[in-house]
Amino acid sequence: MRKTMKIQLLGFILILCGAFSTVNGQELAIKNNLLYDLSATPNLGLEMRLAKKWTLDISGGINPFSFNDNRKWKHWLAQGEARYWFCEAFYGHFMGLHIGGTEYNISRINWPWPKLEKEYRYEGWAVMTGISYGYSWVLGKRWNMEATLGIGYYHADYKKYDCATCGDYKGKEKSNFVAPTRIGVNIIYMLK
């Protein structure tokens, strides 16, 4: 399942890259989510105008790090979001509909959704879909700042292990839940 999901995600990204290559500069923005950076997840996003009030946002991040005492939140994630802007694209209030996926290896972290316990290591994948609301402020000729928050549905499939570094396989679990699916404070550079 993971290999199929990766191939589909790669195909989706390649199609989007082709769409982005035909966009002129006034309709394309590059962004970085500062909240992801604070969680040690380097990330990058692209957003392109589709119409006067519609944009398509594609973002992704990766956290390859392990920390002290084998604490880790290793993962990659990718999301796509169609946005409707109430005034005009890249300025003011917007609503979004997004989908995404992630693959992860988590240990020694208390995680609220799904309830993951600190004593175990979890390895698996999840897909999500949700709605979001946000606002974008113009800071200058080429710079914007944006805040966004989304909520939605997750399906997670993971393996549970007895301890963080080794241990016995405890079984495979699935979880379906409603939780935040998108959160961001983005710094945006407009290509012109």
Q: What is the pLDDT of residue 11?
A: 60
The per-residue pLDDT for 74 is: 92
Q: Which token pair is 134?
A: 């946000």
pLDDT tens-digit series, residues 65-110: 888 877 888 999 999 999 999 999 999 999 999 999 999 998 887 7
pLDDT of residue 16: 55
What distance lies between CA 59 and its chain's CA centroid? 6
- The pLDDT assigned to 99 comes to 97
R_g over Cα of the chain: 18
Beta bridge partners of 72: 66, 107
Residue with tokens 């969680």: 39
The pLDDT value recorded for residue 163 is 72
Give residue 48's pLDDT: 96
The burial class, CB within 10 Å (0-12 / 13-18 / 19+), for 68 is: exposed
- Residue 148 pLDDT: 98
- What is the reported pLDDT for 10? 58
Residue type, 43: N
What integer best gives the mean pLDDT of the chain? 87
Q: Is the pTM of this model over 0.85?
A: no
Q: Find out if CATH 2.40.160 is the number for domain 2-191.
A: yes
User: Could you tell me which of 99, 101, 98 has the C-alpha nearest to residue 76?
Assistant: 101
Domain ranges of the chain: 2-191
Q: Which helix (H) or strand (E) holds 35?
A: helix 34-38
Low-confidence stretches of the chain (pLDDT < 70) are 1-26, 111-114, 164-166
The amino acid occupying position 123 is E
d(CA 131, CA 148): 10
